[in-house]
Amino acid sequence: MKNNTFINRRKPARFEWALNKALIIALASFAIVLGYVGFIDLWQHLYKTASSLDIGLIVAVTTLVIAIGLIMFARYTERRLEIETQLKTQKIEIYDQFLLQLGKLFQREHGNADLIQLIVEWQSKLILWSDNETLYHLFLWHDSLLAQDANSLTKLEGFLRALREEIGHPSSDLEQGAFLHLMINHGAFLQKHSKPKNGKS
């Protein structure tokens, strides 16, 4: 029988993005060094053959080119940071709304079908906004619910941790099950502390 679950999907490397960035930085550094060596060689050649007026012109043009390059790089970096900040802000808003709905679901009687329905309602936003690691844990959690796996809560824990890490909050210092403990007992806590004292409303 054909397996339609996502469990057998390749798990993306946890630090895959870091490796990609390291490779880009290494290639850029190599290009900069190569360009610098070529520029120095060209400069020495021009210095030996050019007149004093030509040298002054070359220095001025070189300074102008470097200044323009630095300005363009600074603006590019600033713009990239603005885009990343806006993207993270939008992700936080979406994840906050999702977690509110998930928390409300855990405050009342519910089953796997209710959790699956919640994922279905939010799947378009999660697919569009979540990174690969978060989606991987979402697939695991969804499949465990469909299979009525007893470890579905553990998969939910992994998904919640992936959400936090995606927006820049590492969870490695928090013990496993911390989020589930908070979520599962949250409804009981509210019910206990919302009761009127001494029978008074």
DSSP string, 124-164: HHHHHH--HHHHHHHHHHHHHHHTT-TTHHHHHHHHHHHHH
Tens of pLDDT, residue by residue over 10-24, are 444 555 666 666 777
100 shares its domain with 181? yes
65 shares its domain with 103? no
Residue 29 domain-assigned (yes or no): yes
118 shares its domain with 195? yes
102 shares its domain with 172? yes
Of the three residues 60, 86, 112, the one that is the final residue of a domain is 86
Given pLDDT bands bounded at 50, 70 and 90, which one contains residue 2?
very low
Residue 153 CB coordination number (10 Å):
15
Single-letter code of the amino acid located at 4: N
Residue 11 domain-assigned (yes or no): no
99 shares its domain with 124? yes
Tens of pLDDT, residue by residue over 37-86, are 666 666 666 666 666 656 677 777 778 888 888 888 888 888 888 888 88
Of the three residues 86, 112, 132, the one that is the final residue of a domain is 86
Of the three residues 70, 86, 102, the one that is the final residue of a domain is 86
194 shares its domain with 153? yes
Least confident residue range of 73-77, 106-110, 179-183: 179-183
Task: Give how far Cα 15 sits from Cα of 47, 129, 133, 159, Å.
Answer: 47, 19, 10, 17
The reported pLDDT for the residue numbered 16 is 61
The reported pLDDT for the residue numbered 68 is 87
Per the structure, how many domains does the chain have? 2
Task: Give how far Cα 115 sits from Cα of 80, 86, 90, 91, 102, Å.
Answer: 36, 29, 23, 21, 8
Mean pLDDT of 109-129: 90
Residue 126 domain-assigned (yes or no): yes
77 shares its domain with 104? no
pLDDT of residue 142 exceeding 90, the answer is yes
184 shares its domain with 112? yes
129 shares its domain with 81? no
Look-up of token digits 């363009």 = 72
User: Which residue range forms the structural domain that includes residue 41?
Assistant: 16-86
3-state helix, strand, coil in the chain (%, to 5): 80, 0, 20
76 shares its domain with 121? no
168 shares its domain with 190? yes
73 shares its domain with 109? no
